[in-house]
Amino acid sequence: MKQRSLGSTSRSVSAIGLGTWQLGADWGDVDEDQALAVLDASAEAGVTLFDTADVYGDGRSESIIGRFLAARPGHGVTVATKMGRRAAQEPENYTPENFRVWTDRSRTNLGVDSLDLVQLHCPPTAVIEADATYDALDGLVADGAVAAYGVSVETAAQALAAIARPNVTNIQIIVNPFRLKPLDEVLPAAQAAGVAIFARVPLASGLLSGRYTERTTFAADDHRSYNRNGEAFDRGETFSGVDFETGLAAARRLAAALPDEVSLPVATLAWIASRPGVTSVIPGARTPEQARANADAGRLLDEETDLSGFSRAVHEVYDDLLRADIHPHW
Ligand SMILES: NC(=O)c1ccc[n+]([C@@H]2O[C@H](COP(=O)([O-])OP(=O)(O)OC[C@H]3O[C@@H](n4cnc5c(N)ncnc54)[C@H](OP(=O)(O)O)[C@@H]3O)[C@@H](O)[C@H]2O)c1
């Protein structure tokens, strides 16, 4: 598995990481044994980056990762967590005091003295643009509460604002075949500034697994049931903001352009990971089998599998079916 520098830190992270929202909540039931099996399967396959957040299952995802870390000394995994959604997303809540309370809770959940990386969890634009935000984050680093910080963002404009700040280690943003705008300016700007990019929602919440049909349904407590129109949080976080039927049509066209013997999710992850400027792709997995399959995308990178035909299809499908709705929005 290719390892890449985490911004200007001395750490490296795998080109294919693991998203662990599924191990918290909002994706139907994932029991604790299964959650630990997902972490084990990923680590055994060479994954060295776990992405989590203090709000995933109200700390459940972090606590399960904490159990993994404690049981596996020498694990070599970097844990990136997030903060900022335990209170209303109002600028006045992004204070040094709240940052301290939130990071202390994550340190306890994860069982670590210092967080490897904490990301602001899609804060309002005013917070991303305020000097005070970065002063407070620098304070956390100076105190040793966190080793590094980054910003998870919704839009390309927010990403560019955060990349301009000198001590930002990473930006987390949606990059996938249904979300190409970051390729225009965000990835080049990050690369020029030495800022790492984590590509989230790489499978468009599973639409790019190629498994779903018009008849697929999701559990009532799964955000793919309750946030399709942005009822609970930004609609861009569910199916990447693409309407389900359009997403199915787009996924079918991409599936027709796959290299031999490569599945749609694996080709998608390898394609994202090989965009210049992307540091790590962080697919979520609900089962160890999914985690292993996703890590296998690392093999395509090692073998330099030719993805040029798939890449052409990605751009054609985006232009035909998605650009008009997606590009102006995120
Ligand atoms: N605001 C933020 O900062 C933010 C927002 C969203 C996500 N994230 C992070 O990004 C990570 C990734 O995004 P995501 O989990 O939302 O979406 P995703 O990675 O695009 O999709 C995950 C879903 O894809 C399906 N899947 C995964 N691997 C598969 C495989 N090998 N074969 C078939 N299906 C597969 C599973 O669907 P089924 O459940 O149907 O099996 C899984 O639940 C999250 O876990 C989280 O860490 C951050």
What distance in Å separates the CA atoms of residue 263 and residue 253, rounded to the nearest whole number?
A: 13
Band of pLDDT at residue 122, cut at 50, 70 and 90: very high
Domains of the chain: 3-326 (3.20.20.100)
How close is the Cα of 143 to the center of ligand 1, in Å? 33
Nearest to 268 by CA among 260, 276, 277, 258: 258
Q: Where are the alpha helices (DSSP H) in the chain?
A: 32-44, 60-71, 96-110, 125-129, 131-143, 156-163, 181-184, 186-193, 223-226, 244-255, 264-273, 288-295, 297-303, 308-317, 323-326
How close is the Cα of 209 to the center of ligand 1, in Å? 10
The pairing of beta strand 12-14 with beta strand 3-5: antiparallel
What distance in Å separates the CA atoms of residue 38 and residue 281, rounded to the nearest whole number?
A: 16
Residue 197 reports pLDDT greater than 90: yes
| Spatial CB neighbours of 209, under 8 Å, sequence gap ≥ 6 | 203, 264, 265
The pTM assigned to this predicted structure is: 0.97
What is the residue type of 196?
A
Band of pLDDT at residue 28, cut at 50, 70 and 90: confident
Give the atom of ligand 1 at the shortest distance from the alpha carbon of 233: 1
What is the residue type of 54?
D
Cα torsion through 53, 59, 62, 65, rounded to 10:
-150
Arithmetic mean of pLDDT over the chain? 97
Name which residue sits closest to atom 16 of ligand 1, judged by CA.
201
Enter the tokens of residue 284.
């979520």
Residue 29 reports pLDDT greater than 90: no
Give the atom of ligand 1 at the shortest distance from the alpha carbon of 218: 40
How close is the Cα of 89 to the center of ligand 1, in Å? 23
How do residues 216-244 score in pLDDT, each as one tens digit? Answer: 999 998 999 999 999 999 999 999 999 99
Nearest to 77 by CA among 127, 112, 128: 112
Query: Looking at residue 27, what is its pLDDT?
Result: 83
CA 108 centroid distance within chain: 22
**What is the length of the chain?**
330
The residue behind tokens 């998608």 is: 268
**Contact residues of ligand 1, CB 6 A cut-off:** 19-22, 27, 51, 82, 121-122, 152, 172, 200-206, 209, 211, 237, 265, 282-286, 290, 293-294
Evaluate whether 300 touches 16 at the Cβ level (below 8 Å): no
Band of pLDDT at residue 26, cut at 50, 70 and 90: confident
DSSP 223-236: HHHH-TTSSSS-GG
